[in-house]
C-alpha cells in the first residue's frame, strides 16, 4: 500500500452566517469559508480523503499556506512511502516542516493524516472504529453554539437550543467583555438545564478570569474553557485554585507533550480534543487516551470542519467515549460542502453512515464548484 499521489483542493464553501470569537471573525459569510480537501491515492488505486480547516484568526495557518505546504513539501516527502506506516509518515512530515514552539503546520498535516486513515480503513474493508478495534456507534450529540455579545440574542438562541433537542450549549465570550455576565445570565435563564460550556478563546488576564469565574459560580456554568493565553499554564493552575468551576484547555494543548505539561502543572480539569488542531487523528487519539488516564474530563471540538472532518472527529470522540455533546459546529455555518453521502444532521444529533473508511463519499462536481478561484 504505497502512496502514489496526493492532490490538494483549496475550497471556498458557502456560509449561512458569520462566526466570531474573541480574536475576531473566523468565518465571513461574504467571503465564504476556507477548507482544504486532500485526496491520497495508493498503488492499488484506493483513494483516501482528508480535510483541513485553517482559520487565521485562530492560529497562523491559512488556506494558502496549507495548500502550498502539502503541495510543495509534504507531497514530495511522502510520495512512494508506505501508507500504513503512520509513525514514519508523521516523522517525515515533522522533519519536512519543523516545529516552532509547537508542531509546525498541524492543520495541514491533519488533512494528510485523515486521508491516510480513510485510505487504510478502506483497504482493510472497515470503518474508523474498526481500525482502532473499537465499537461502531452510528450517532453523536452536538452542542449548540452561541456566539453573540447581545444578551437578547443569546437568550433567543439558548431557547432555540432547548426547544430543538440540544442537550448542551457552547457559549463564546470575550467578544465584548462588558456584556459577558449579561450574556451568560440570559443563556442560563432560557436554558437552565442544558450543559453549559463557556469558551473565552484566551480573552482574559488572570484577575479578570478570577472575577468572571465568581460570576459563573453564581450563574451555574459547567466549564470555563481557555480563559487565559495559551502559554499561560501557570495562570490557569492559579485560577483553578481560586474557583470551583472546572477549567478546560483548548489552545494550550496542541500535542501530547503540551497535555503532559498541563497535567504536571495541574493547569486544567478538562482537555479539548480537536483532530485538526492536534495534527490528525493519530495525535488526537493519543491526547484523548492520555487525558482519560490522567483523570481529566474530555470535551470534543472542531474548527468548523465540513462533513468529512466532522465525521472523522465524531468517530474519534465516540471511540474515546466522550459523553458531553461535542462542539462540531460546521453544519451551523456551512450551506453546502463536497460530501455527497455520509451523514445526516438532525438538530442536536449527527447520524453517521456505516460506510468504510471515514464514511463519506465525495462529489467531484461539488469539489470543482467550490474550488478557490486563483
Question: What is the total residue count of the chain?
Answer: 374
Cβ of residue 238: shortest distance to Mg ion, in angstroms? 20
- Residue 61 or 250: the one with the smaller Cβ distance to Mg ion is 250
Number of residues this chain uses to bind Mg ion (CB under 5 A): 2
The β-bridge partners of 49 are 39
| Nearest Cα to Cα of residue 146 among 34, 19, 294, 273 | 19
**Residue that the C-alpha cell 469539489 belongs to:** 367
- Residue 96 or 250: the one with the smaller Cβ distance to Mg ion is 250
258 touches Mg ion by CB under 5 A: no
Q: Return the residue nearest Mg ion (CB atom).
A: 250
| Nearest Cα to Cα of residue 203 among 232, 173, 181 | 173
Cβ of residue 225: shortest distance to Mg ion, in angstroms? 5
Cβ of residue 272: shortest distance to Mg ion, in angstroms? 6
- Residue 42 or 199: the one with the smaller Cβ distance to Mg ion is 199
| Nearest Cα to Cα of residue 45 among 99, 71, 83 | 83
Stretch that binds Mg ion, among 124-132, 244-252, 285-293, 352-360 (CB under 5 A): 244-252
Give dist(CA 278, CA 205) in Å, integer.
Answer: 25
305 touches Mg ion by CB under 5 A: no
Question: 225: annotated binding-site residue?
Answer: yes
Stretch that binds Mg ion, among 125-133, 197-205, 273-281, 346-354 (CB under 5 A): 197-205
Helix extents (H) in 294-346: 307-319, 330-333
172 is catalytic: yes
- What mask, x for binding Mg ion by CB under 5 A, covers residues 324 to 363? ----------------------------------------
Cβ of residue 226: shortest distance to Mg ion, in angstroms? 5
- Residue 8 or 287: the one with the smaller Cβ distance to Mg ion is 287
118 touches Mg ion by CB under 5 A: no
Cβ of residue 203: shortest distance to Mg ion, in angstroms? 11
Integer-rounded Cα Rg, in Å, for the chain is 20
Quote the cell numbers at residue 330.
Answer: 460546521
Phi-psi region of 307 (alpha: psi -120 to 50; beta: other; left: phi over 0): alpha
Give dist(CA 76, CA 327) in Å, integer.
Answer: 35
Catalytic residue among 75, 103, 109, 172: 172
Cβ of residue 299: shortest distance to Mg ion, in angstroms? 8
List the one residue from 51, 61, 170, 250 that touches Mg ion (CB under 5 A): 250
Catalytic residue among 122, 157, 274, 277: 274
Residues 6+ apart with CB under 8 A from 354: 127, 136, 138
- Residue 199 or 337: the one with the smaller Cβ distance to Mg ion is 199
Burial, 275: exposed, middle or buried (Cβ in 10 Å; 0-12, 13-18, 19+)? buried
- Residue 34 or 174: the one with the smaller Cβ distance to Mg ion is 174
Give dist(CA 373, CA 254) in Å, integer.
Answer: 31
277 is catalytic: no
Q: How many Cα atoms sit within 13 Å of 95 on the Cβ side?
A: 9
Question: 250: annotated binding-site residue?
Answer: yes
Kind and range of the H or E element at 188? Answer: helix 180-190
58-97 binders of Mg ion (CB under 5 A)? none
List the one residue from 170, 180, 199, 222 that touches Mg ion (CB under 5 A): 199
212 three-state secondary structure: helix
Residue numbering of the annotated binding site: 199, 225, 250
Q: Binding site for Mg(2+): which residues?
A: 199, 225, 250
Residues marked active site are found at 172, 274
Binding site for Mg ion (CB under 5 A): 199, 250
Amino acid at each position: 500500500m504505497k502512496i502514489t499521489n496526493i492532490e490538494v483542493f483549496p475550497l471556498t464553501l458557502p456560509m449561512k452566517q458569520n462566526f466570531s470569537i474573541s480574536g475576531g471573525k473566523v468565518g465571513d459569510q461574504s467571503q465564504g469559508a476556507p477548507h482544504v480537501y486532500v485526496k491520497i491515492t495508493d498503488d492499488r488505486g484506493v483513494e483516501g480523503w482528508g480535510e483541513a480547516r485553517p482559520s487565521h484568526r485562530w492560529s497562523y495557518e491559512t488556506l494558502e499556506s496549507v495548500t502550498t505546504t502539502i503541495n510543495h513539501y509534504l507531497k514530495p516527502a511522502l510520495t512512494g512511502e508506505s501508507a500504513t506506516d503512520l509513525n514514519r509518515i508523521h516523522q517525515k512530515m515533522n522533519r519536512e516542516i519543523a516545529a516552532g514552539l509547537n508542531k509546525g503546520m498541524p492543520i495541514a498535516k491533519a488533512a494528510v493524516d485523515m486521508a491516510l486513515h480513510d485510505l487504510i480503513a478502506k483497504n482493510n474493508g472497515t470503518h474508523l472504529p474498526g481500525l482502532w478495534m473499537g465499537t461502531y456507534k452510528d450517532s453523536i450529540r452536538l452542542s449548540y453554539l452561541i456566539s453573540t455579545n447581545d444578551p437578547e440574542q443569546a437568550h433567543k438562541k439558548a431557547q432555540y437550543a432547548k426547544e430543538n433537542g440540544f442537550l448542551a450549549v457552547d457559549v463564546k465570550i470575550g467578544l465584548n467583555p462588558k456584556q459577558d455576565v449579561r450574556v451568560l445570565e440570559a443563556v442560563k435563564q432560557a436554558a437552565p438545564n442544558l450543559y453549559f460550556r463557556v469558551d473565552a478563546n484566551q480573552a482574559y488576564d488572570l484577575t479578570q478570569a478570577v472575577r468572571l469565574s465568581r460570576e459563573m459560580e453564581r450563574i451555574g456554568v459547567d466549564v470555563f474553557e481557555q480563559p487565559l493565553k495559551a502559554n499561560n499554564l501557570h495562570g490557569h493552575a492559579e485560577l483553578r485554585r481560586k474557583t470551583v468551576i472546572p477549567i478546560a484547555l483548548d489552545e494550550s494543548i496542541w500535542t501530547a507533550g503540551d497535555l503532559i505539561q498541563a497535567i504536571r502543572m495541574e493547569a486544567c480539569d478538562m482537555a479539548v480534543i480537536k483532530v485538526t488542531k492536534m495534527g490528525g487523528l493519530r495525535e488526537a487519539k493519543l491526547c484523548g487516551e492520555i487525558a482519560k488516564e490522567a483523570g481529566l474530563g474530555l470535551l470534543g471540538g472542531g474548527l468548523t470542519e465540513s462533513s468529512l472532518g466532522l465525521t472523522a472527529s465524531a468517530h474519534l470522540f465516540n471511540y474515546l467515549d466522550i459523553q458531553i455533546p461535542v462542539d462540531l459546529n460546521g453544519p451551523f455555518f456551512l450551506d453546502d460542502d463536497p460530501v455527497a453521502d455520509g451523514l445526516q444532521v438532525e438538530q442536536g444529533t449527527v447520524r453517521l453512515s456505516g460506510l468504510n473508511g471515514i464514511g463519506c463519499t465525495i462529489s467531484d462536481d461539488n469539489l470543482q464548484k467550490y474550488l478557490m478561484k486563483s
